[in-house]
Amino acid sequence: MSSAAVILKPGERLDDLERNQLRIIQNPEKFCFGMDAVLLSGFARVREGETVIDLGTGTGIIPILLSAKTPGRHFTGLELQPESADMARRSVEYNGLEERIRIVEGDIREAAAVFGASSFDVVTTNPPYMTEHHGLANPDMPKAIARHEIKCTLEDVVREGAKLLRPNGRFYMVHRPFRLAEIIQALTKYRLEPKRMKFVHPYVDREPGMVLFECVKGGKSRVRVEAPLIIYAEPGKYSPEITDIYGY
């Protein structure tokens, strides 16, 4: 870890990630990472020497966790919102990860133009889940942009992810099951063939609230639905698999 003292801006805090002494800068008034990002970092497979880009990285949680969990060579985080990108950069510097992680401020819709086609081995993304703007008090607020498809759509994320990947590259995404039909249609349209799919349930007897995907660019049609991931063994107590993912 970097020995330099972190300089927090008004409203920010420094959170312990409970892994490799890593910490991350966040502002609860803007947006904080959720369990979905942590679960995606546990689901994604990154091999030695591979390069990764995280689309819509927020405060950089997925590249930072993947740098600790995998032997990947280099990680890039692309983020549209300047404040989030700034927090991500400062977190990377605080943790002394500048040689492995690069944060770029930019638009997902232009990702392939910025980085070039077929330039990454792995793409990860935790995109906005909600399609409708109804009920949004302020569509320009950071939380609204992170949760609703205001600045990019599911198709934007899938299209650009497919362009960025090398042949047989892997695409990892966490999303919501209620959009499953739309998700699979978008993935197959851009030749990102689903290979692994895992549903995440709050309790063993509840319907899933999340779904994790691994897709291969140009892969053959064959998908494996893995055993479901259960978040809570009982109220207030994480399941052993969640505990393992979080590194407690």
Least confident of 1-10, 105-114, 199-208, 232-241: 1-10
Under DSSP, is residue 35 helix (H, G, I), strand (E, B) or coil? helix
Residue found by looking up tokens 């851009």 in the block: 190
The model's confidence at residue 140, banded by pLDDT at 50, 70 and 90, is low
Beta strands in the chain (DSSP E): 13-16, 23-26, 51-55, 74-79, 101-105, 120-125, 165-175, 192-201, 210-217, 224-225, 229-230, 232-234, 237-238
Mean pLDDT value of segment 95-104:
97
**DSSP H or E run through 31:** none
Interval 32-52: pLDDT, tens: 899 999 999 999 999 999 999
Give the domain ranges of the chain.
13-246
Token pair recorded at residue 181: 């039909």
Least confident of 7-11, 61-65, 125-129, 202-206: 125-129
Mean pLDDT of the chain: 90
Give pTM, 2 decimals.
Answer: 0.92
Token pair recorded at residue 232: 């809570």
Q: What is the CATH number that goes with domain 13-246?
A: 3.40.50.150
Show Cβ contacts of residue 247 under 8 Å, excluding neighbours closer than 6 positions.
18, 19
Report whether 204 contacts 157 (CB < 8 A).
no
Report whether 77 contacts 88 (CB < 8 A).
yes
Mean pLDDT value of segment 179-191:
96
CA–CA dist 215, 157 (Å, integer): 14
Q: Is the pLDDT of residue 94 over 50?
A: yes
- Angle, in degrees to the nearest 10, between helices 180-189 and 154-164: 30
Q: Is the pLDDT of residue 3 over 50?
A: no
CA–CA dist 164, 11 (Å, integer): 35
